[in-house]
Structure 1
Amino acid sequence: MLLACQLVILALVVPAILAFRRLPPQNVLPDTVPLQYDALSSKLLPKLIRGHLLDGVQQRGTLNDGEQRTSCCGDLGCFPITSDFFHILHRPINAAPNCAIRTKLKMRLNTRENPDKSEFLDLYDSAATIGQSHFQPQRPTKVIIHGLMDRYVLRWNRQMMEEFLLEGDYNVIRLDWSAGNQPPYTQAVANSRLVGVFTAQFIKHLVDEYGARMQDFHLIGHSLGTHTACYAGEHIRLNYGTLLQRITALDPAGPYFENMPPTVRCDPTDANFIDTIISDGQYIIPNMGLGSSQPMGHINFYPNGGTLQPGCENLGPLNRAAADSLRLMTAFDLLEMLTESMTETFICSHMRALMMFVESINTAPCSICSYECTTYTDFLEGKCFSCKDATKCSKLGYFVNASLAHPNVQNKFYTLTADATPLCTTMYKFQMTLQNKTKENQAKTAKGMVKVTLHGTRGSSNALLLSENAVTMEPGKTYRFMVESRRDLGVVHSLVLYWVDSSHLVDVGKAKIIHLHGNLLLTDQSELISEFQPTQSAVKEKRNQLASFVTSHSQ
């Protein structure tokens, strides 16, 4: 049914797009594009859609999914399609890896000796390439693996390499498997198994022939590249009796992997330590999500809940043009903007995990602290905002606390980020308590959108929304919210509370009021609690209520 829904939706969109837009040449990708759009330019959306249509048409008859089939690719071995690779909803179509791409896979090396020009390392011509390169086995080695329709030369890939070389003396290898990552998607999924085994054999060759150490290898994969890295880790574990040191999974691809057995996807057995950053963990239907919400590592980060990221809500020229209602547009113009808008919105959250990881390598003063919590809702309610137990919080990204990893345990960590670079923020927990109902106050339950503005010694925040949804405020109850500021405010000396009723109930002649009990509390990331006394306890709707600092104490 999932595949049928995809095909129906695409069948409605594609004819209109193709009627007004010529398809681009095959395998054309820009060399440099903005970081958040590297994986897919707007001009490639019709190609991607066409690939998904061919996915259902060309391959359905090639393999019987209930039957075990095996494809053998020379020295890379055989790839059986066993029953664990099939699910009627999550993985209805299985292709065999394309053995022809084996000789087209390329490893590109950069070191501090050759930061600008990469060197081609050939597993099948080792002496002439690896032996003559700047590869040094005593150095730690980073292997960067891109995903679907991506290339090693694109900006995010190169930027990650540059950040690594700035941070330390590493061998940085970028795997180029663009010969096998093109649509249809199911073929790229199948090819990722072959590419994973190729990567494993390449690493084993560096260990056996050049004296590199397995514990010095760190693989970083994005999207489909995540599972490629984990296939490499699995092959090393099963065939060589050892483990990669670390795999970083940046928004692991969801379609055809989520809810599948560990043998099919990334899982904690694939390396000594696996950390994931999940930024687009929504189902592709109906939310157009490309990642997976399923925890696949030892430590799993869910920034902003792991779904729609701040700044990705209203992207694209279609949304920017919507305000200009007087502009006359031809059908071609409208369709052009629709295509670009869909693409920008489609991949924005998926690429955010990459941006977070790249930023984390060399921006220690602007690190993103994350907190272990059962659910994102509990985190937003301030139930997990503490690092007193050092095992309950960690930096997100390159400098994650790997000591928190435990076998057979998959912990979830949550945090808040900004809507643009730099993505780090200063987080606070805000708390207010409402008075019980009395004859004097006649307090009633109110429902509204609540904001707080913080004023500190280094500046002021914007008006921070306490919740994306209207807050139901009942007399006698205490409410806690996580908020974040993009700027460092210094010592907060006052705040302003503001709310707008959203109950739509008409109470003629009576002002809508909430009644505060005691002081407002603000906890910062050092866990210092500051108390702020409001000028009055009755807070009318649409009126700014100032509260001034009175005291502070440790949590």
Structure 2
Amino acid sequence: MWQLHAAFQRVPMLGLCVFTCFVAWSVRADIGQECPTFTDLNFANSLIGTNLKVQLLLYTRRNQNCAENLSERNLTASTYLNVTKQTIIIIHGYRLTGSPPIWIDNITELLLEKEDINVIIVDWNRGATNVNYFKAVDSAKKVVEILKNLIDQMLANGASLDSIYMIGASIGAHIAGFVGKAYNGKIGRITGLDPAGPSFTGNPPSQRLDHTDAQFVDVIHSDIDALGYRKPLGNIDFYPNGGTDQPGCPKTILGGFQYFKCDHQRSVFLYMSSLKPNCNVTAYPCDNYTDYRNGKCMHCEAFQPRPCPVLGYYADKWKSHLIEKKPPVTTAYFDTSDKEPFCMHHYSVDIITWSKNSRRGFINIKITDDAGNTTESKINSEAATFHQYREANLLAGFYLDFDNVSKIGLTFSTRNAVGPKYKLRVLQMRLKSLSNSKRIQLCRYDFILLENIEATFRPIPCHDIAV
């Protein structure tokens, strides 16, 4: 303390400034005007366990840099809550280490950039932080009552259930479902981000998230072989990369803690990508991932007038189609890149051959733009069968997308180490962008593919031919 006093004596104005700032901060804290923050705990808290304590942190465009702590029983004291606007309630999941979710601030900022709304962060870190996962599940059930009180107060002050949108990650997805059940499924929307599997798998709909819990329920499954829930839970269930191993995540335990949480957490980052420009992730309704990979589900004409569903924030644009389905459940698949914003650009490659003998094999696809940039398809389909005068549909996915494709490279392979080399006589090759349906389809006619030798050519705009 004497060193600080000496410093103030040497630099009087600096000392006065520091002292004044300290007093000012203390006054703000004393009168309760400091910004409340998300509860920050550590692994020591997890070891001893935590008792449930919930903060409801409100952010709006008027206070987007400083949360307001709401009381679920008395909203009249709120300065910023406007119940006539849409309210998005965000609920995190289990917290083994006790630290705040790294995505909480980012998703709040992105949502407020997108629309003038209320964003309420449900901080139940005290309760979610526990080495005993089942204790956290018990705490989650108590969070439901608190959120029910909150929404009741909002309704009493003029809000409508249509305007309530809940986003829940892991256990938080099931919390949202339980709240939705309390209102007989009349809440506007629930998004489940990789809903938790442990303690919930095999439960009846009354004991987990279900498509009847809101007017529209969309779910992203990114870790169905470990921490996530495998089966469909919503009106539409998205399975990125089949819902298991996500590109860019560690494949072995040598990846450290990321090995355990990366796949599970990817659902949140995929959702946030949908809030950013230039990354509308299109998904393809399909019965399973294998059929999607083999090009059997690329076309969405069956779902017109709605196009293929889009992942994330705008998934509810597909809602009018789902209402007509009985039961209203759809599974959709797509592939992603390994880095944010995770977009992969999908193309269909339709090939008609005129070889007399049928051939089974694989087609590797490259595209090049006018500047000489090249990208190769990252989707590995099963072997396709090429029959004479029949169209074989292949799916290609590229990390890069080109407005102008100047060259296409195709390589045919049977992947047989021994035996004769084969060739495909191609009557027509058609390349169609699935991510941008307005783009001109490109074709090439009457050429031969020799096995394991890349054929590179300049495509031309397609014209229909009689086969």
TM-score relative to the length of structure 2: 0.80
Question: How far did 1:465 drift?
Answer: 4.4
Question: How far did 1:123 drift?
Answer: 2.5
SS of the aligned residue for 2:458 comes to strand
Q: Which amino acid aligns with 1:544?
A: E
Residues 547 and 201 of structure 1: CA distance in aligned 2, closer, same or farther (over 3 Å): same
- The corresponding residue for 1:191 is 139
Picking from 463, 467, 485, the partner of 2:376 is 463
Residues 295 and 458 of structure 1: CA distance in aligned 2, closer, same or farther (over 3 Å): farther
Residues 482 and 461 of structure 1: CA distance in aligned 2, closer, same or farther (over 3 Å): farther
> Is contact 1:222–1:251 with CA below 8 Å preserved after alignment?
yes
SS of the aligned residue for 1:270 comes to coil
Please list the CA deviations of residues 461-492 of structure 1 after superposition, one character each: whole Å capped at 9, or x if unmatched: 422245255x2656647532211222221132
Name structure 2 gaps, 5 residues minimum: 1-40
Picking from 503, 507, 530, the partner of 2:442 is 530
- The corresponding residue for 1:168 is 115
> Is contact 1:207–1:214 with CA below 8 Å preserved after alignment?
yes
- The corresponding residue for 2:210 is 267
Question: How far did 1:369 drift?
Answer: 1.6
Tell me if 1:230 matches 2:177. yes
Picking from 421, 430, 445, the partner of 2:340 is 421
Alpha-carbon distance in 2 for matches of 1:487, 1:106: 42
Q: Give identity over the alignment, percent.
A: 27
What RMSD over aligned residues (CA atoms) do the two structures have, in Å? 3.1
| 173-182 or 400-409, which deviates more | 400-409
Q: Which amino acid aligns with 2:60?
A: T
Tell me if 1:544 matches 2:454. yes
- List 4+ stretches of structure 1 deviating above 4 A: 150-153, 472-478
Residues 226 and 188 of structure 1: CA distance in aligned 2, closer, same or farther (over 3 Å): same
- The corresponding residue for 1:121 is 70
- The corresponding residue for 1:349 is 263
- The corresponding residue for 1:66 is none
Matches within 5 A, 1:434-449: 434-437=353-356
Q: Which amino acid aligns with 1:259?
A: G
Picking from 134, 148, 170, the partner of 2:94 is 148
Question: How far did 1:436 drift?
Answer: 3.6
Picking from 271, 279, 296, the partner of 1:383 is 296
> Is contact 1:230–1:267 with CA below 8 Å preserved after alignment?
yes
Name structure 1 gaps, 5 residues minimum: 1-40, 55-97, 283-288, 319-337
Please list the CA deviations of residues 108-160 of structure 1 after superposition, one character each: whole Å capped at 9, or x if unmatched: 11111111111111225x26xx5143111222111100011077943311111
Alpha-carbon distance in 2 for matches of 1:436, 1:115: 64
| 254-263 or 494-503, which deviates more | 494-503
Residues 408 and 468 of structure 1: CA distance in aligned 2, closer, same or farther (over 3 Å): closer
SS of the aligned residue for 1:244 comes to coil
Residues 366 and 553 of structure 1: CA distance in aligned 2, closer, same or farther (over 3 Å): farther
SS of the aligned residue for 2:108 comes to helix
Question: How far did 1:446 drift?
Answer: 5.8
Residues 251 and 553 of structure 1: CA distance in aligned 2, closer, same or farther (over 3 Å): farther
Alpha-carbon distance in 2 for matches of 1:361, 1:235: 29
Question: How far did 1:295 drift?
Answer: 1.0
Alpha-carbon distance in 1 for matches of 2:372, 2:417: 35
Picking from 506, 515, 526, the partner of 2:424 is 515
> Is contact 2:218–2:235 with CA below 8 Å preserved after alignment?
yes
TM-score relative to the length of structure 1: 0.68
- The corresponding residue for 2:22 is none
> Is contact 1:372–1:392 with CA below 8 Å preserved after alignment?
no
- The corresponding residue for 2:331 is 412
Q: Which amino acid aligns with 1:134?
A: Y
Matches within 5 A, 1:7-406: 101=52, 104-124=53-73, 126=74, 131-149=77-95, 153-181=100-128, 182-208=130-156, 210-237=157-184, 243-282=186-225, 289-312=226-249, 314=251, 338=254, 341-363=255-277, 365-388=278-301, 389-391=304-306, 393-400=308-315, 401=317, 402-406=319-323
| 109-118 or 450-459, which deviates more | 450-459
Residues 433 and 132 of structure 1: CA distance in aligned 2, closer, same or farther (over 3 Å): closer
Question: How far did 1:384 drift?
Answer: 2.7
- The corresponding residue for 1:323 is none
Residues 472 and 385 of structure 1: CA distance in aligned 2, closer, same or farther (over 3 Å): closer
Q: Which amino acid aligns with 1:107?
A: L
